[in-house]
Amino acid sequence: MERARDKVLMGVERRSVALTDLDRVNCAYHEAGHAVVAALLPLADPLHKVSIIPRGRAMGVTMQLPEADRHTYTKGYLEAQVAVLMGGRVAEELFMHHMTSGASNDIERATDIAQHMVCEWGMSALGMRAFRKAGSAFEDDRAHAMSEATARRVDEEIEKILAGGYETARALLDRNREPVKALAEALLDQESLEADELKDLLARTGASR
Amino acid sequence: MERARDKVLMGVERRSVALTDLDRVNCAYHEAGHAVVAALLPLADPLHKVSIIPRGRAMGVTMQLPEADRHTYTKGYLEAQVAVLMGGRVAEELFMHHMTSGASNDIERATDIAQHMVCEWGMSALGMRAFRKAGSAFEDDRAHAMSEATARRVDEEIEKILAGGYETARALLDRNREPVKALAEALLDQESLEADELKDLLARTGASR
Amino acid sequence: MERARDKVLMGVERRSVALTDLDRVNCAYHEAGHAVVAALLPLADPLHKVSIIPRGRAMGVTMQLPEADRHTYTKGYLEAQVAVLMGGRVAEELFMHHMTSGASNDIERATDIAQHMVCEWGMSALGMRAFRKAGSAFEDDRAHAMSEATARRVDEEIEKILAGGYETARALLDRNREPVKALAEALLDQESLEADELKDLLARTGASR
Amino acid sequence: MERARDKVLMGVERRSVALTDLDRVNCAYHEAGHAVVAALLPLADPLHKVSIIPRGRAMGVTMQLPEADRHTYTKGYLEAQVAVLMGGRVAEELFMHHMTSGASNDIERATDIAQHMVCEWGMSALGMRAFRKAGSAFEDDRAHAMSEATARRVDEEIEKILAGGYETARALLDRNREPVKALAEALLDQESLEADELKDLLARTGASR
Amino acid sequence: MERARDKVLMGVERRSVALTDLDRVNCAYHEAGHAVVAALLPLADPLHKVSIIPRGRAMGVTMQLPEADRHTYTKGYLEAQVAVLMGGRVAEELFMHHMTSGASNDIERATDIAQHMVCEWGMSALGMRAFRKAGSAFEDDRAHAMSEATARRVDEEIEKILAGGYETARALLDRNREPVKALAEALLDQESLEADELKDLLARTGASR
Amino acid sequence: MERARDKVLMGVERRSVALTDLDRVNCAYHEAGHAVVAALLPLADPLHKVSIIPRGRAMGVTMQLPEADRHTYTKGYLEAQVAVLMGGRVAEELFMHHMTSGASNDIERATDIAQHMVCEWGMSALGMRAFRKAGSAFEDDRAHAMSEATARRVDEEIEKILAGGYETARALLDRNREPVKALAEALLDQESLEADELKDLLARTGASR
């Protein structure tokens, strides 16, 4: 079942594998990482499809999130979404034994969520205080006249949320290695799995929290 | 009387409730939180209506505040208004056992009041000193050339006001659980309560400071 | 003589007084505070009229200051003007037992004077050094590349001036309670007093430094 | 000889002197302060006229400086010019026993010279290092990305120069009280003195370093 | 084999060599530095040509990097690229016993990679946190409202990556002095070497990790 | 041989010399300072002419530097150029016993070189790290979001380079007083010296490192 990955990892060492093959395997494990975390966290949005068919700049996509702002978000839901976003890179580390720049969009989105939680939604130890106008974008980091003391605490709270999401993803994927590998190999084989296929695969491989 | 809430809370755990139902229950408790605090603080503006009929982006509204600047505001009034604004989120925490992003507008308005109190109206330990021009907006945080030492003190004073309002709201709602639940369920039932209906309900359920 | 104030203060507790009445009484004491400080400080500009007839946004006005920049200002004159500006809020605290946002314009003007004294006119322990161009406005706080160490000292000096003016006003009004109350009640009665009427009233009630 | 000043100082206490008379006397002593320092410092530009005839916003002027940048300036010349600029305010303090805002232009010019000396001309303990482009204006304070550590040292050096100039002026005027008073009274009498008249007066009254 | 370099180094001391000859020799050793590091690091992009024929502003070029963003980059690849970029300056230091400004473009590109790794790609001890928007340019350093505490850590991580790359290059070139000298002299002789010629030369001179 | 300088120095004390004469002598020693340092440092660009004929704003010029960027610069060359730039002011201090603002252009250029060395060319203890884009101008000081810790180190390194250049120039000119005086007097006499005349004069007066 792990033939594609092993072949590629050996090939990298011998410089005998094309980069595109390495990217393809990496993408499969990356998406599998997102998908397994999403499937196992009850508060995360349910999955409906996983794919490694390239779309524009993104190499693969785990279709999960509804459009922003249609509902109010609970803190538990947001924490789950951060963990899902971390899942791709965690899978790269655990299964491909490397890190790629392909996680940059996940990292930005996860940080954006954390910034909203701390700076606008009062979901940190800093409590109910707005550090920027509601509805700000990622780059509207925070009021620039904030004291250094406050800026440091805001940074610490953002860091806690991101580290927490990372740890959650890591624990889940470490405990569910077989499901991840099975899903990655299935993606390399089929390129795309629908929600029910994914559900069956995870049940079959004993995926659990 | 708490059937709607219990049904929804159980449903969340089993993923068997539609998000819109959860939002609706959350909104009812959120508005009930604002309303009960407003009713029990003598210096706050009196209520004239509570509703959970969605209006544009806001899911519900507790109609209370007059238009800004028509009167001069006393410090006691402003502190009461901050507590009222905190009431929605506090109710979410005490009764729904979660936090939602729906409090973002309340958080911004409460912070805006606190900033005015400290930076323009001399209502803090920093006394009678203007840290920005009178009539500034939320994002005109403060003069950017202020020393770090002063910026830290301004932050601390803003924090005291917000923490004080949060504590006031928490104490009131914790002491008035039955009235809050009764009001929330009434809103889920009727969608809207006028001032006199609200008054009766609160008297009936023994609401008190 | 204090019937209007007592009536209003009791009414506030019982929510039986209209806000406009409270504002009117507050305005009378606020203006009386400015006027008594101005009358008792020899270096302040002389008064020529006190009124609580609303003019646009301001609820009342103590007509005292000449147009800016027609003369050079002495340090003693400026310190007296700061104390006069503080007088309104001090009266609110001593006689109405509250603080209102109505002092925001006084606070900004007092801070503006203090900033000029420290940053342009060499009237502080920091001596003869310009921290911004001569003739700067309130919001041209100071050169933004100033070191934190210097910014802190500038803030401390501005604070000393404002605190000094506040203390001066407080001591004067605390020592002249009868004159203040008499003037406030007269304003509630007549709405306006000319310079000579004011002078008589203060003499009659034993106003003194 | 000091009749005009004494009359005015007594009048201030009794509120019996018009402000314009106080300004006129202040102006005479202020200009006398500049002139005596300029006359007694060999490296300063020579005087050619002293006047208290108002010109636009300035109440009086000591005509001394050539147009900027026609020659290179030595450090000794610049230090002397700073002391001359301080002379007006020092005279206010020593002879009028007050400070006025009339010194604001002197303070800005003195600070501007000090900033040039430290930030462009390598005339401080910080040595030969440019902290801003040659030919910068007063408000182009310094490179804003400079470290706090460096900004503090730049501030300290600017302060040393200004304090040094202030002390030089103070020592000179304190030691030459009769010449200053004589010159001030002559200005109040004549309004204007040419270079030779000034020279005679100073010789006559024993002016010396 | 080192006749060209020795001639030039002696000539510099005696001011008897034309600058253009010194630049040419420097360029040969600089490019040889890049090339040997690239050849010996398995994760770096393979070389296909080395040349010292001037192209516009650059004096020589080691053609190695594919166009940006066509693949996702692994951390190991990026670290190797940083070491390759450092190779030119390291060769200058080890073989020419000097440093030139010709390394400025290498330094900027290496810093740019390190900034991406830390601020966008989560490839440092700071983990998965975005410090600026994905796809930012070199000069979009980082969010300017970041706390000083965080900015310091970001600087430290960037420094670690650059220092690591420098050390890797230094160790490799120090251990491969003969191959570097041989390649430099060949470039001075031929001006250009294709991939296979380079490979032969390195094998012949015993180049190894 | 020093008659012109002595005459002028005595004249300054007695205010009997025209400023233009003082400027002229100062200029001669200033240019002599640059020229002697340039002549004695082997890595500096060779001189081809020294002149005190005024050109526009500059009073004199030592023609030495080729146009920027035509070659790559070595660290040793840049350090020598900094010392040459310092030479003018050092001569003012050693021989004219004063400092003039005429050194402002030299100070800016020397600082500009030091900034390039530290921030773009990796020629300091901070190593190979770019603190601003290659090819930046003097006023593009550095990335403004750099941490204070890093900014301080950048300032320290810039300072080391400038202090080093100053010390080098000082040691050279202090050891070569006769050559400097001879050259200055020759410039006052002839206004201009060509390269070979300069070479003869320096040999004749025993100029040496």
Q: Show Cβ contacts of residue E16 under 8 Å, excluding neighbours closer than 6 positions.
A: none
Instruction: Give me the half-sphere count of Cα atoms (radius 13 Å) on the Cβ side of residue F175.
Output: 12
A31 is catalytic: yes
* Chain B contact present for C56, CB below 8 A: no
Given a cut of 80, is residue A198 above it in pLDDT?
yes
Burial of A200 (0-12, 13-18, 19+ CB in 10 A): exposed
* Chain D contact present for F39, CB below 8 A: no
d(CA A4, CA A6): 6
Percent of chain F with pLDDT over 70: 82
Q: What is the pLDDT of residue B112?
A: 95
Q: What is the pLDDT of residue D12?
A: 56
Lowest mean pLDDT of B55-59, B99-103, C77-81, D117-121, name the range.
Answer: B55-59
- Average pLDDT over every residue of F99-113: 95
Q: What count of other Cβ atoms lies within 10 Å of the Cβ of residue D104? A: 21
Given a cut of 60, is residue E111 above it in pLDDT?
yes
Percent of chain F with pLDDT over 90: 69
Q: What is the pLDDT of residue F57?
A: 47
Q: What is the pLDDT of residue D69?
A: 47
Contacts of A among chains (3+ CB pairs under 8 A): B, E
Q: What is the pLDDT of residue B69?
A: 47
Q: What is the pLDDT of residue E46?
A: 86
Mark whether B and C touch (3+ CB pairs within 8 Å): yes
Mean pLDDT over each residue of chain A, to the nearest integer: 87
H/E stretch holding A110: helix A104-119
Residue of A nearest to E148 (CA): A148
Judge contact between A120 and B104, C-beta under 8 A. Answer: yes
Closest approach of chain D CAs to the CA of C145, in angstroms?
A: 5
Give me the DSSP letters along F100-113.
Answer: BGGGHHHHHHHHHH
- Average pLDDT over every residue of B128-148: 81
- Average pLDDT over every residue of B55-76: 61
Q: What is the pLDDT of residue E5?
A: 77
Lowest mean pLDDT of B51-60, C148-157, C175-184, name the range.
Answer: B51-60
Q: Is F61 helix (H, G, I), strand (E, B) or coil?
A: strand
For residue range E131-153, what is the model confidence (pLDDT) as tens digits?
998 888 887 756 556 899 999 99
Q: What is the pLDDT of residue F140?
A: 77
For residue range C88-138, what is the model confidence (pLDDT) as tens digits?
999 999 999 999 999 999 999 999 999 999 999 999 999 999 999 888 888
* Chain F contact present for E105, CB below 8 A: yes
Given a cut of 50, is residue A47 above it in pLDDT?
yes
Candidate list E2, E13, E31, E197, residue with the active-site label: E31
Top-ranked range on mean pLDDT: pick from C115-124, E8-17, E42-51: C115-124
Residues 181-200 of F with CB under 8 A from E: none
Mean pLDDT over each residue of chain B, to the nearest integer: 87
Top-ranked range on mean pLDDT: pick from B33-42, C46-55, F70-79: B33-42
- Give the E-state strand segments of chain C in sequence order: 49-51, 61-63, 192-194
Name which residue leads in pLDDT, F15 or F104: F104
d(CA C102, CA C79): 22
Judge contact between A60 and A103, C-beta under 8 A. Answer: no
* Chain E contact present for F93, CB below 8 A: no
Top-ranked range on mean pLDDT: pick from A61-70, A143-152, B70-79, C140-149: B70-79
Lowest mean pLDDT of B158-167, D170-179, E62-71, F16-25, name the range.
Answer: E62-71
Residues of chain D under the 70 pLDDT cut: 1-3, 9-19, 54-71, 141-145
Judge contact between C93 and C102, C-beta under 8 A. Answer: no
Q: What is the pLDDT of residue D67?
A: 39
Q: What is the pLDDT of residue E67?
A: 39
Judge contact between D192 and D50, C-beta under 8 A. Answer: yes
Q: Smallest Cα–Cα separation from E193: which of E10, E36, E56?
A: E36
For residue range C52-79, what is the model confidence (pLDDT) as tens digits?
976 554 555 555 544 444 568 999 999 9
Judge contact between C28 and C78, C-beta under 8 A. Answer: no
* Chain B contact present for C169, CB below 8 A: no
Longest CA–CA span in chain D (Å) reads 56
Q: What is the pLDDT of residue D16?
A: 52
Q: Smallest Cα–Cα separation from A167: which of A76, A70, A79, A97?
A: A79
Per-residue confidence band for C3, with pLDDT thresholds at 50, 70 and 90: low
Instruction: Tell how many helices (H) and how many strands (E) occur in chain D.
Output: 7, 3
d(CA D128, CA F108): 9
Contacts of B among chains (3+ CB pairs under 8 A): A, C
H/E stretch holding B87: helix B75-91
Given a cut of 90, is residue E117 above it in pLDDT?
yes
Q: Smallest Cα–Cα separation from C29: which of C191, C169, C180, C165?
A: C180
Given a cut of 80, is residue F62 above it in pLDDT?
no
A72–B143 CB contact, under 8 Å:
no
Active site residues of F: 31
C107–B116 CB contact, under 8 Å:
no
Q: Show Cβ contacts of residue C174 under 8 Å, excluding neighbours closer than 6 positions.
A: C94
For residue range A160-194, what is the model confidence (pLDDT) as tens digits?
999 999 999 999 999 999 999 999 999 999 999 99
Give me the DSSP letters along C120-155.
Answer: TS--STT-S--SS-TT--TT--S-TTS-HHHHHHHH
* Chain D contact present for F58, CB below 8 A: no
d(CA E87, CA E167): 10
Percent of chain C with pLDDT over 70: 82
CA distances from residue A20 to A47, A130, E123 in whole angstroms, order as listed: 27, 46, 22
- Average pLDDT over every residue of B80-90: 97
d(CA D135, CA D121): 10
Burial of E98 (0-12, 13-18, 19+ CB in 10 A): middle
Per-residue confidence band for C146, with pLDDT thresholds at 50, 70 and 90: confident
Strand partners for E51: E61, E192
Q: What is the pLDDT of residue B154?
A: 96
Name which residue leads in pLDDT, E4 or D50: D50
Q: What is the pLDDT of residue E155?
A: 95
- Average pLDDT over every residue of A98-119: 95
Angle at F9 between CA F7 and CA F12, to 5 degrees: 105
D145–F148 CB contact, under 8 Å:
no
Judge contact between D185 and D1, C-beta under 8 A. Answer: yes
> Rg of chain E over CA atoms, in angstroms?
18
Given a cut of 60, is residue F54 above it in pLDDT?
yes
Where residue D34 falls (left for φ over 0; alpha for ψ -120 to 50; beta otherwise) is: alpha
Interface mutation target, options A43, A147, A154, chain B, most CBs of B under 10 Å = A147
Contacts 24+ apart (CB under 8 A), D17-23: D19/C71, D20/C71, D23/C71, D23/C72, D23/D59
d(CA E18, CA C116): 62
Given a cut of 80, is residue E56 above it in pLDDT?
no
Q: Smallest Cα–Cα separation from F126: which of F90, F105, F102, F156?
A: F156
